[in-house]
Amino acid sequence: MKILHLETSSKNCSVAISNGNELLCLCEERTGDYKQSENLHTFVEWALEGAEITLKDLDAVCLGMGPGSYTGLRIGAASAKGFCFGLGIPLVAVNSLVSMAEPFLGNGYDAIIPIIDARRMEVYTAVFDPNNGEMITKTEAKILDENSFDEHTGQRVLFVGDGCTKAQEVLKLPNAEFRSDVYPSAQYLIKKGVEKFKNKEIEDVAYFEPFYLKDFQGVRQRKKEIF
């Protein structure tokens, strides 16, 4: 079961190849701006070469569907659809916040909370169970203030993502830890992507849209709740 994983929702343009749950190759680069349109297909070529397979060997494409950068998500979705249509293989989609929580599971936290920087004091966020990685609150766009996440007061909470910089300035959670250097990565889509593929949780390639979460420049998007 060879799957191409694409994650383009942030400044980290990331491509991985897996065989089942085994990571065969990872190619990613984090830049100060968004260069997915320049780098994505080159990274796919490099990852396939590193995994010693070709496009024809792929069984599916797994996409980090957002939330995140509108432009980055559009580029990733267009590429994923192109591969699926061209190769006649299915598409599975995973919430990009999953890949931010995945590497920190089982480390003794009471909650893991990815926070992606949005406009002003807003972040995209959800709360994850620190043991099994399940999302225990829906993904939302949240305005940060001193009372945000106060239900976790007294708990050992890990916040991850580029929204940590402004979160640290306002949150009143003495036991919280912050990791602003964490971005969505294709390698951490593998577990959930394989699970969805096995369970036949397949997207309709023709009608699939990324999880933008918010409207962009007056374009109305159908609201979704992603768990």
Q: How far apart are CA 178 and CA 222, in angstroms?
A: 32
Give per-residue pLDDT as tens, 180-197. Answer: 999 999 999 999 999 999
% of the chain with per-residue pLDDT over 90:
89
* pLDDT per residue as tens digits for the range 107-126: 999 999 999 999 889 999 99
Q: Is pLDDT larger for residue 225 or for residue 131? A: 131
What integer pLDDT is reported at residue 219 of this predicted model? 42
Tell me phi and psi for residue 214, to 5 degrees. -125, 155
- Which tokens sit at 212? 């933008």
Alpha helices in 96-143 (DSSP H): 96-101
Look up the pTM and report it: 0.91
Q: Delimit the domains of the chain by residue range.
A: 2-96+184-198, 97-179
Phi, psi torsion values for 140, nearest 5 degrees: -145, 160
Topology given in CATH for the domain delimited by 97-179: Nucleotidyltransferase; domain 5 (3.30.420)
Q: Tokens in use for 200? A: 């036949």
Q: Which CATH architecture group holds 2-96+184-198?
A: 2-Layer Sandwich (3.30)
